[in-house]
Amino acid sequence: MRCPNCNSKDIGKIGSHQFYCWGCFIELSVNGEKMSVYQVEEDGTLSSLDDLFFEEEMPLIQEHAN
């Protein structure tokens, strides 16, 4: 899986459906083929970045890591 923001492959798993990009420090949440992107704020809260991405630009999630 690659980060939809920076295209990095340096993605860590932080939950059953949650990932963290060490390239641009965003959190990714995957539900089926839908991905949501969040910025982690200083206080630990998450701010959605989904409005910055068009749905057609979001990559399809593959079961196998590349």
Report the percent of the chain where pLDDT is more than 70: 79
What are the tokens at 12? 């860590």
Q: For residue 2, give Cα distances in angstroms to 37, 44, 53, 59.
A: 13, 23, 15, 9
Question: Three-class SS of residue 28?
Answer: strand
User: What's the pLDDT tens digit per position in 10-42?
Assistant: 999 999 999 999 999 999 998 888 889 999 899
Domains of the chain: which residue ranges? 11-52
What band does 64 get if pLDDT is binned at 50, 70 and 90? very low
